[in-house]
Amino acid sequence: MRLDDLRSFGLFEGLTDDQLAELAEAGTEVRIEPGVDLFREGEHADFWWVLVDGAIDLVRHVGREDTVVGRMDVPGRWAGGFRAWDEHGVYLATGRGRSGGRVLRVPADALRERANAWFPFGAHLIKGLYSTARSIESTARQRESLVALGTLAAGLAHEINNPAAAAVRAIDALDDACQALLASLGRLVQAETSGAQFAALDELRHQIRPQADRLSPLAVADREDELSSWLAVHGVEQDWTIAPPLAAAGVDLEWCERAAAVLGAAALEPGLEWVASRLSVATLLSEVKESTRRISDLVAAVRSYSQMDRASIQQTDVVDGLENTLAILGHKLHGGVHVVRSYGTDVPRIEAYVGELNQVWTNLIDNALDAMGGAGTLRISTLVDGGDVVVEIGDSGPGMSPHVAARAFDPFFTTKGVGEGAGLGLDVARRIVVERHGGQIDIDSGPGETILRVRVPIRPAKPERGGTRR
């Protein structure tokens, strides 16, 4: 390794030529080959790697897949060597060649010896800093992840609880309706109702066309009063249980007169009770079906949102990701939030890390909802611009100050209190969009409106597969 290759790196500023030569002599020049691993995540960080030219992807194994979390593509960037300061130090990611080039590989013990000899005070500071930072970062990230997971889990539990509770109530009522149905059949038999009468009554039941969705609650209540009065006049004692389901289904007095003509006085009450019970059973079964469908849809949304059992990069429709995110955050959309969707009809599917993009949508939508304080207009739009898909998420909140907008993408910058938010800062969102997908993200904020604009390529750029960068 020639000293001229290293001297221009800011990393070695302050070293004498003799010191730099001694460091280079202790190391070895290693060639970078695209797709070939130089070091692996979790193994002891026995070497310090300094990029001379070319590029290296830093890859971590997440779930069942390898995920690129960073890239060394600027000469002088370095990785590893942690055992120079900590005997338990391991590589935090796998270094995998992206484009051909070279690295200087220095053993960690050689790095430690020279650091202790050249600037012992600095070496002690680095050792303490490494140990402290590792401990703090591990604890903080675990706490943030648990808080974010707890927030999403609580919201999802709330969303699932509503249809689940509705299904339980419907099932309890369904049991009572079935008992009434069977009892009314027994009373029809006791009244010696003929087969022809029962068939005629069933035909009248088939003529009922439920109108609950076309009648106002006030109209249904008025009709219920009319039916109760009619039933009382005709000697029906259980008018308070028979009238409500008949009124809800749109039954009128003319239908009741025809039923009375078919059944006669003796069978009128059990016959109408049988019809009312059948209507109640149908209504309750519909409620159970709708409630369980809602639960199933939520589970499907969570599965799609988390991208379980799927490849990390795949073709996807950004609208699906946005809608699944809205389902996950549904507990925050109730009340005064109005969602306006403007999805372009010509937006194609894109190739992306879907799970990571869903995290971006979660962060941006959650920020927009928080900015509005639970009341306002949330606008979501998609469109095509050249070779990119553009997603805009806007809110009608007070807007960002110039100071906040300028720092929004800074690491660790936040305007939220502890435990608030989705646990994913805009800095991480920016890195997912820019570094992972080759896209762009920017803010357009003014009084009464803030828009986060995300631009993602329809097809990701292909990595370089050879050549040496100088």
pLDDT in tens, 122-165: 665 665 655 555 555 555 555 555 555 566 666 667 677 778 88
Q: How many whole angstroms separate alpha carbon 80 and alpha carbon 67?
A: 18
Residues 336-356 as b or e (16 or more Cβ within 10 Å = b): ebeeeeeeeeebeebebbbbb
Domains 3-118 and 312-457 alike in fold: no
List, in order, residues 6 or more apart from 96 with CB less than 8 Å away.
35, 36, 37, 38, 56, 57, 58, 59
pTM for the structure as a whole: 0.47
CATH superfamily of 312-457: Histidine kinase-like ATPase, C-terminal domain (3.30.565.10)
Q: How many whole angstroms separate alpha carbon 245 and alpha carbon 228?
A: 11
Q: Is the pLDDT of residue 117 over 80?
A: yes
Task: Kindly report which listed range (148-152, 210-214, 351-355, 419-423) carries the lowest average pLDDT score.
Answer: 419-423
Residue ranges of domains in the chain: 3-118, 157-297, 312-457
Structure tokens at 92: 């935090």
pLDDT value for 340: 94
Confidence bin at 289 (pLDDT 50/70/90): confident
Q: Among all chains, which residue has been given the structure tokens 């009238």?
A: 243
pLDDT value for 98: 93
Q: Is the pLDDT of residue 383 over 80?
A: yes
- N- to C-terminal Cα separation, the chain: 14
Task: Kindly report which listed range (23-32, 142-151, 358-367, 369-378) carries the lowest average pLDDT score.
Answer: 142-151
| Burial class for 357, CB neighbours closer than 10 Å (0-12, 13-18, 19+) | buried
pLDDT in tens, 421-465: 443 568 778 888 988 888 999 998 888 889 999 999 998 765 444
Quick check: 115 and 122 in contact, CB under 8 A? yes
The helix or strand, by DSSP H or E, that contains position 60, with its residue range, turns out to be: strand 47-62
Provide CATH code, domain 3-118.
2.60.120.10
The pairing of strands 449-457 and 440-446 is antiparallel
